[in-house]
Structures are given as structure tokens and as C-alpha cells.
Chain A
């Protein structure tokens, strides 16, 4: 389906610009994400991470530049892109007045999974999460940690090629964050490419490659190890501060 030369890159961003009036949220971003990678997108609040992720998911249209996700042009083949991706937004966005299972069933059906497949996958997923007994509870009654883990699992229920996670662990306790990363590794092991934004710098260490954004621009793009070496730092935290602090 995809061209041979691009088979390794599931996301290709070329000179992406997004403007809101006079304000430039994304200033000529260019990068590629390889299949199966865990790709971290780092930046302070307001650096333009969420804007970029929304464009990659087809929720927002780019002002300039070309974005290809899963082999499709985001601007013109938006609905095809949407079939191939999963997305978890910054704000919890499953239906709080539906039960755990009702949410899974709804999103499963929207992605075209059969009733049997929905039942099978949701059972496995809920047992894996330890949420099976809670499947008939309203989501509104779950704790934030459970909500986030569930939202992630629903986002990959249809086995997308890529899953986009926008600050999935903000506001979650350290133990749950750890468990959340285990889920991410499981997904990556199944071949799902993970695109994650975060401002927890320890999480950057878990990524295969990270991008550091400041003021709408990409300041660095490398593996955490190489970045630390390049900037002569012990931790990603120091790298981040060096790059984003006003010089």
C-alpha cells in the first residue's frame, strides 16, 4: 500500500506551520517517526505540543506544510488517517455517564469491530488491567488513574498503527505512571507506534527518541542517550533546561 522508501516512516512531517492569527504555534516543524518507535514530544506548557498532535490526528488543519500519517496525507485523506490511528487527549474524554463496557462497545463499533471481537478484546483488556469486575460501573465513578489507563486501552482497542498520547500521565500518581508506561511498552511490543507528549522529563528516558520543542520550534531530536552526551548532561532534565531556558 505504501511506497517502499517510506515503509519505515509511519509519520512524516515536512515544514509544518500552524498559525492562529498572528501567533505561530508551530514554526516549520520537520521530523519522521519510524514504525514501532516510542517517540517523545517534549516541551514546556505552550510550546506547541498539543497543537502539533491535533494536526497529526486530523483534528486541526495545518496552515502550511505537509503531514503524512500511516501513508496518508492528513489534510486531504483525513478519514483514512483516522482509521489507522488511536488518540488519547489531554482532557479525559470517554463518556462519564456510560459504563466501562458501554464505552468500549461504542468505540469498538465505531472502528468497525464485530460484537464478538469487541467482547473478546474487552474481556482480555479489562482482565489485564484488573478492571474486569468494574466493567459495569459508570466511568465517572472511577479514579483518575483508572480512567487514564482505560482511555489508553480504548485508544488501542482497534489495533491502530499509531497511537497518539497527549500528556497521558499528567496529574497521575507515580505508581500509576509506572503502570501506564508498562501498558505503553506492551503496545509497542505489539508493533504499535507510540507518539507521546509529556512534560515529565523522567518519562523522556523511556522513549526511543525525543523531540524537544520550545516556542513552536524543534530544538533537538535524538535518542535520550545521545542528547545527554551532546549537551554533556546527567539527566534529560538538564538537557531540557539548557535548551528551553532563555539564553
Chain B
């Protein structure tokens, strides 16, 4: 224990003396959370729409004003020329193009179905899908209204559904993004710092001086992990404070549970960082390898995309992805107020991964080569 104390003292002195790393530890989370959470928004508001109204009827005008009033669409331009509208769609100036053919109102009055055409730039398929869904809703509302005015009868024929968004009633995308970005932040900082630390000692040659001493292997490994676990938890706390006061993110569940699971999660991730550093001879190598793992972990984790939409093999890969579990845990605790027993699967996953990574790191760290 005494040796551990002196080793930890040494690690913290070195961290504090490294001014650049120290600044990064403080500045990184603030900048990332202030910038990225806002920038990474996927709110489907303000979709740019170009409208080709060939009908110029009262019904088409009503549709257009409904679109204008909707928070989801912004009228980019009105043009009677379909070719021109298509150009705007192709050039990316508009996300959606709506074509109202000239018999639109007539058809509806005659009791036929009035057809309009919606063209969407589906490079961003999510945006296109949502635009279509919003438009669908908007036109069906208008259809019912129009029919009611004309015939005085309410249409019962169509099914309608009402929406309640649980856990995030105002569909504030930031509530969803902040926990995710915070997890990425904590992971990147913790894993890189751990991975680089041991390799730096290899590069400097100091590891040899340590290996020739009778320092117990486990003590040394704990001294290499604990400082970054503390830093990781500190980053998490800092991020949650920003979440609370800047974004007003709800914190429904127990923060004790958040930090408890976070400790377990970090122990595993830092163990992976240490494992990678036992394989690497230079900081360059370990940076590349860590980057590879983190990139896969982050993109698979469901931070931006729904994991349920992934192919089955992708979901299987996520069984080995600590970020997948922890992002889920963070969102569930903060937004839903999930309890320990609601999260036992994720906690089990995190625990198994932590034990595996740490065991491999310990086995692969040798004082004698």
C-alpha cells in the first residue's frame, strides 16, 4: 500500500507537470459539450423545401401556408417550373421538393384522391424519411379539414394516431445527445491517457528502471489505472454539471448509480488502453490502435444511429462494445430514471468486459521479457 501511495504520487505529479495535458483535461470537455451537443443536433427542423405549385388554387394555397407554418419546413423557394425545382434539389439548396399538379383541387372536390408529389434528397435517409412522415401528416390533416368544410361530415375512415413522446416530451435532441457525447469524451480522454502513459515510459526507458525493482506487478498496474479513472470520473462530473446548467438535461435517476457504473466502465476501458499499450512500442502505434478501437466503438454504439436499425451481426458486435452499454446506461438513468435492476443486462455486460480487459492487460504486462 505504501508503494502504491508513492507510485500514485508520482503519476499525479507527472500529470500536473504536463501543462498541455492538464489544460486538455479541463478545456476539452467544456468545448466539446458546448459545441458538439449543439452541432450534432438531428432535430428535423428547418428542412428546406422548394414548392412547384402548378395548381394555384385555394386548396394549394392552404397547403402552402400550412407548410410555412410548420416548424419542420422552411419554404426555400416557390417556382412553377419543375425542372428548376429539381435543379435546386440536386444542388442541395433544397432538401425536399413538393409538386402540386394543376388538377389538385379539382380532383379533391370531385372526391377523387388529390395527389401531390414529394421528392426528397435521400442522401440523408433519416431526414428524407422524417420529411415524408411530417408531410404525410400535414396533408392528411388538411384533407380531413377540407372534407369537413365541404360535406359537413367527419371522416372516420382513416386511422389516426396521437403521439406522446415519453422521457423526452419536447423531443429535445440535446437531451439525447449530451449523455452520448459525454460518454465519448470520458472514454477518449481516459483511454488515450492510459494507453499513452505506459508507452511513454517505454519510450523514455523509465519502465526498465521500474521493472528491475521488486515493485509488485499489481501495485504498478493499479497505479497506472487509478489516476486516469479519477480523471475520467472528474470529466464525467464536469460534463454533468454543464448538462444540468447549460442544457437543463433532466437527471431523473440516481447519480450514485451513474458514477458507480462509470467506475466499472472506466476500469474496463482503461484496462483495454493498458492492454493495447503492452503490445505497442511507441506512442504513435498505440495512438493509431486506440483510435481504431474507439472509432469502431463510437460508431457502433448507437450514439447517432439507432442500434435496432443495425444488421443482426452488428448488434452482436455490440455485445463486445463497452460504449454501447454505457451510453445506454447514461441515457436510461438520466432521462428515464432507470434503476439498478432495470439495467442489469448492461451492468453485466460492462462487468464482463471490464474483467476480461483487465485480466488480459495483467497477463500481458510482464516485468521480464
- Name A's B-contacting residues (CB within 8 A): 57-61, 78-80, 82-83, 85, 87, 89, 91-98, 102, 105-107, 109-112
Is A98 a contact partner of B13 (Cβ separation < 8 A)? yes
List of A residues within 8 angstroms of B368 by Cβ: 58-61, 78
Q: Does B209 contact A (CB under 8 A)?
A: yes
List of B residues within 8 angstroms of A61 by Cβ: 368-369
A61-B368, A78-B367 as given contacts; A106 in contact with B208, CB under 8 Å: no
B residues 182-218 touching A (CB-CB < 8 Å): 204-206, 208-215
A105 and B13 CA atoms in complex are apart in Å by: 13
- Name B's A-contacting residues (CB within 8 A): 2-3, 5-7, 9-10, 13-14, 17-18, 204-206, 208-215, 367-369
Is A95 a contact partner of B14 (Cβ separation < 8 A)? yes
Q: Of all chain A residues, which has the CB nearest B10? A: A106
List of A residues within 8 angstroms of B213 by Cβ: 82, 107, 110-111
A85 and B13 CA atoms in complex are apart in Å by: 27
- Chain B interface SS verdict (over half): helix
Q: Of all chain A residues, which has the CB nearest B206? A: A93
A95 and B28 CA atoms in complex are apart in Å by: 27
For the complex of A and B, list the 5 residue pairs with the smallest distance between their C-beta atoms, beginning with the closest: A109-B6, A91-B205, A93-B209, A87-B212, A93-B205
CB distance from A20 to the nearest CB of B (A): 11
A60 and B217 CA atoms in complex are apart in Å by: 16
List of B residues within 8 angstroms of A109 by Cβ: 2-3, 5-6
Can you list 5 contacts pairing A with B, beta carbon distance less than 8 Å?
A: A60-B369, A78-B368, A105-B6, A106-B10, A107-B213
CB distance from A100 to the nearest CB of B (A): 13
* Choice from A78, A93, A102, A110 contacting B208 with Cβ under 8 Å: A93
A79-B214, A102-B13 as given contacts; A97 in contact with B209, CB under 8 Å: no
Q: Of all chain A residues, which has the CB nearest B213? A: A110
Is A59 a contact partner of B212 (Cβ separation < 8 A)? yes
A112 and B2 CA atoms in complex are apart in Å by: 8
Q: Of all chain A residues, which has the CB nearest B15? A: A97
CB distance from A116 to the nearest CB of B (A): 13
Is A87 a contact partner of B17 (Cβ separation < 8 A)? no
List of B residues within 8 angstroms of A80 by Cβ: 214
CB distance from B8 to the nearest CB of A (A): 11
A105 and B271 CA atoms in complex are apart in Å by: 28
A58-B212, A82-B214, A87-B212 as given contacts; A106 in contact with B7, CB under 8 Å: yes
CB distance from A7 to the nearest CB of B (A): 23
